[in-house]
Structure 1
Amino acid sequence: MTDTEIEGPGRHRNGDELAESATKRDDVFDETYKEKEGPKPSMIIVWKNIMLMTLLHIGAVYGISLVPSAHVLTWAWSVFCFLISALGVTAGAHRLWSHRSYKASLPLRIFLAIANSMAFQNDIFEWARDHRVHHKFSETDADPHNAVRGFFFAHIGWLLVRKHPDVIEKGKKLELSDLKADKVVMFQRKYYKMSVLLMCFSIPMFVPWCLWGESLWLGYFVPGLLRYTLVLNATWLVNSAAHMWGNRPYDTNINPRENKFVTLSAIGEGFHNYHHTFPYDYASSEFGCKLNLTTCFIDLMCFLGLAKDCKRVSPEIVLARAQRTGDGSTRNRNG
C-alpha cells in the first residue's frame, strides 16, 4: 500500500499504509502469545520500593499543606514543571520513542529527554521497552502492569514487586535497534541518575529560591515532591483507570477505555481504547487537539519545523473499525 499525505501541521502521513507493517512493530498485540499453564510464580515484594513510594506520598501530602503559604509564582512554576515533566513522558517516551508516531529533530529530542528526566519514570530506553511489551502482550502475564490483576496492581503495585518472568523474557526478545541507535536516548540512559537529581529535584527547588526568594524547604516539597508525585499518578492512571472504566467505541475485544478524567490529568492520554486500537497514531485520539495538550504540543513543534511525519489514521478507517468492533457508543466519537 503506498504512502499518502494530507495537508496539516508537519505534513501528517496518513496511517492506513501502516496496517500492512503491523507485524513488524513491537507495539502491536501478539495474538499468538499464550500464558504458561500451571501455578503462577510467587510474587516477590520489593520492600525498598514500598518504603520509597510510601515516603514519597507522605511527602506529597505534606507538600499539599504547604501550598497555601507558597508564593503565587511558585504555584505557576509548579504547574509549569508538571507540564514539562508530563510532555517528557507523553510526547517523548510514549509517542515518539515507544510508538515512533512522528519524527523529532535533534533539539526537540534533547528537550524531550531533559523533560523525561524531570518526570523520573525510568530512562527512555527502559520506559519504551516496557511500554512496547505492554502493548504487545496487553492484559497477560507478559504485561508489566496487567490490569486484569486489579486496579492497585496496574496503578502502582507492579512497581512494588518483581516483574513476572514473562515480562522479562518478552522484553529481552524485542527488536530495539531504533532506541539503541538514538544517541540522545543512550546518553540519557548513561547519565540518568545525575539528570534526575538535577531536573526532577534540584532545578524545581532552586529556581523559586533564586528568582523570587521562596524557601528551599517549600521549593523541595511543592514544585519538587508534590509535582513529581502528581505526574507519577497521572501516568499510572493510564495503566489503571483507563484500562478499567469508560466506553470502548473502537474495539470491545480489548480492555482499554476512553476515560475523560485520565485524558485531562495525563494531558491527552485518556483516549485509550483508540490508542490501543491504533497505537501508531501520533495524536492518540480521533479528535486531534481536542482535550489533548500533547497533540497540540507536537503540532506546534511541526509548525516550528522541529517535528515531522506525524502518522495518522484516516477517518474512514476509524469509522469502519468502530462499526466493526466498537461498542456502538457515540458520546466520545462525536465529542
Structure 2
Amino acid sequence: MTEAEALEKKQHKPSNGEVRSGTVIEDVFDNTYKEKEGPKPPRIIVWKNVIMMTLLHIGAAYGCFLIPSASHLTLLCALGVTAGAHRLWSHRAYKASVPLKIFLALANSMAFQNDIFEWARDHRVHHKYSETDADPHNAVRGFFFAHIGWLLVRKHPDVIEKGRKLELHDLLNDKVVMFQRRHYKTSVLLLCFFIPMVVPWYFWGESLWVAYFIPALLRYTMVLNATWLVNSAAHMWGNRPYDKNINPRENKFVTFSAIGEGFHNYHHSFPYDYATSEFGCKLNLTTCFIDFMCFLGLATDRKRVSREVVQARIQRTGDGSHRSG
C-alpha cells in the first residue's frame, strides 16, 4: 500500500456499506459484482412512457415559442433533487431539520422525478454498480440510454435484484420521505403542474395557456433534462482528475445546468462529501444553499473530505488534469 492509499484509508475506509451517522449507506462502488455471462435480456419498451415523454417534449418545445408572449417565467424546484433527494437522502452527506426536509420534499414533488424513496434507492444502486448491468442508467449503453432511454424500457433484472437487497431502513424510517411517497401523485399534480400554472395566472394576469406551457411544462422539462445530463454527459465528456479508472467526468456545462452536480468524477470518488466538489460554492448553487441552511440553523453535520485525502487520491488515481481552484 502506498503512502497516498494509506492516508485516504485512514480518514475513510471504502466498503460495500458506508456507516454515516449510525446508518449504513450503500453508495460506494462494489467491485465484487460481476455481470452475468451469456446473452443480455431482451429490451422491452414501455410504450406508455415513450408516448408521455414524447408529448412532454413536444409541449416544452411549443412553450419555447410562447416565451416572447409571457409576462413572467419562474424556475424553482431543482433544489428538491440536488440538495434533497441527492445529497441529503441518497448520500446522507448532511443532516436537515424537519422544516428543511419538508421544504425539500415539496420541491422534489415539484421536480417530478420519482418520489424521494425511489430516487434515492436507484441512485445508491447507480453508485454501487456504476456502469454495469445493475446500474439503472448505465452510460456504457450509450448517451441516449443514459439520458432518457432507461426510462423508456423495463429495468434490467440486475437493477431490480440489487435494489431489493440494499439497506434502506434510513429512508423507510424517515417520516417525511414516507409521507411524500404515500401522497406523491397528488403532490405532483398540485406542485409540478397546477400551482406553477395558477400562480402567474392569478398574480400577474398571465393567460392559462401560456402559464401551462411555460412555468409548468417547459420548466419541468428543462429541470428533467438538466438532471439527466448528470447521468449522460457527465459520464462521457470531461476530465478525470481524481480517478481515471471510472467513467464519471468533471463537466462544466453540466455543473452550470444542474446547479453544481457536474463535478462528477469527484462525486463518484467521494460520494459522502456534501459539496460534491473540492471547490465549495464555486459554480455550485446547491452547496451555497446547504451552507446558508447551516447558517440559519436548519442543517448540520456537513460531511467533507480533507484536503490531504483529496490530494492523495489525485496522486494515486488522477489523470493528471487537476487544477486547483
The answer to whether the 8 Å contact 2:14/2:28 transfers is: no
The answer to whether the 8 Å contact 1:151/1:241 transfers is: yes
Task: State the match for 2:136 in structure 1.
Answer: 144
Q: How does 1:129-278 map to 2 (within 5 A)?
A: 129-278=121-270
Task: State the match for 1:119 in structure 2.
Answer: 111
TM-score, with structure 2 as normaliser: 0.94
Compared CA separation, residues 250 and 206, structure 1 to 2 (3 A): same
For 1:96 and 1:215, locate their aligned partners in 2 and report how far apart those are by CA, in whole Å: 37
The answer to whether the 8 Å contact 1:263/1:292 transfers is: yes
**Larger RCO: Structure 1 or Structure 2 (Cα < 8 Å, ≥ 6 residues apart)?**
1
For 1:245 and 1:319, locate their aligned partners in 2 and report how far apart those are by CA, in whole Å: 23
Task: State the match for 2:22 in structure 1.
Answer: none
The answer to whether the 8 Å contact 1:281/1:311 transfers is: yes
Question: What secondary structure is seen at the aligned counterpart in 2 of 1:233?
Answer: helix
Task: State the match for 1:88 in structure 2.
Answer: 80
1:33 counterpart = 2:26: no
Deviation of 1:23 after TM superposition, in Å, equals 3.4
For 2:204 and 2:260, locate their aligned partners in 1 and report how far apart those are by CA, in whole Å: 32
The answer to whether the 8 Å contact 1:141/1:167 transfers is: yes
Amino acid aligned to 2:30: D
Task: State the match for 2:5 in structure 1.
Answer: none
1:24 counterpart = 2:21: no
The answer to whether the 8 Å contact 1:16/1:314 transfers is: no
For 2:324 and 2:255, locate their aligned partners in 1 and report how far apart those are by CA, in whole Å: 16
Amino acid aligned to 2:324: N
Question: What secondary structure is seen at the aligned counterpart in 2 of 1:101?
Answer: coil
1:334 counterpart = 2:300: no
For 2:93 and 2:11, locate their aligned partners in 1 and report how far apart those are by CA, in whole Å: 11
Q: How does 1:53-68 map to 2 (within 5 A)?
A: 53-68=53-68
Structure 1: runs of 5+ lacking an equivalent: 1-14
Task: State the match for 2:283 in structure 1.
Answer: 291
For 2:136 and 2:320, locate their aligned partners in 1 and report how far apart those are by CA, in whole Å: 30
Question: What secondary structure is seen at the aligned counterpart in 2 of 1:281?
Answer: coil
Compared CA separation, residues 132 and 102, structure 1 to 2 (3 A): same
Please give the per-residue CA displacement for 1:174-223, whole angstroms capped at 9, x wherever unaligned.
00000000000000000000000000001100000110111111111000
The answer to whether the 8 Å contact 2:17/2:27 transfers is: no
Deviation of 1:19 after TM superposition, in Å, equals 1.7
Compared CA separation, residues 215 and 321, structure 1 to 2 (3 A): same
Deviation of 1:20 after TM superposition, in Å, equals 2.7
Compared CA separation, residues 20 and 334, structure 1 to 2 (3 A): closer
Please give the per-residue CA displacement for 1:42-72, whole angstroms capped at 9, x wherever unaligned.
000000000000000000000000000100x
Deviation of 1:24 after TM superposition, in Å, equals 2.3
Question: What secondary structure is seen at the aligned counterpart in 2 of 1:289?
Answer: coil
The answer to whether the 8 Å contact 1:16/1:313 transfers is: no
Amino acid aligned to 2:301: D
Two-structure CA RMSD over aligned residues (Å)? 1.1
Matched positions, count: 311
The answer to whether the 8 Å contact 2:16/2:29 transfers is: no
Compared CA separation, residues 137 and 18, structure 1 to 2 (3 A): farther
Task: State the match for 2:21 in structure 1.
Answer: none
Deviation of 1:288 after TM superposition, in Å, equals 0.3
Amino acid aligned to 1:214: E
Task: State the match for 1:43 in structure 2.
Answer: 43
The answer to whether the 8 Å contact 1:97/1:179 transfers is: yes
Compared CA separation, residues 18 and 57, structure 1 to 2 (3 A): farther
Q: Percent identity?
A: 79
Compared CA separation, residues 69 and 29, structure 1 to 2 (3 A): same
Question: What secondary structure is seen at the aligned counterpart in 2 of 1:312?
Answer: coil
Please give the per-residue CA displacement for 1:96-118, whole angstroms capped at 9, x wherever unaligned.
00000000000000000000000
The answer to whether the 8 Å contact 1:248/1:257 transfers is: yes
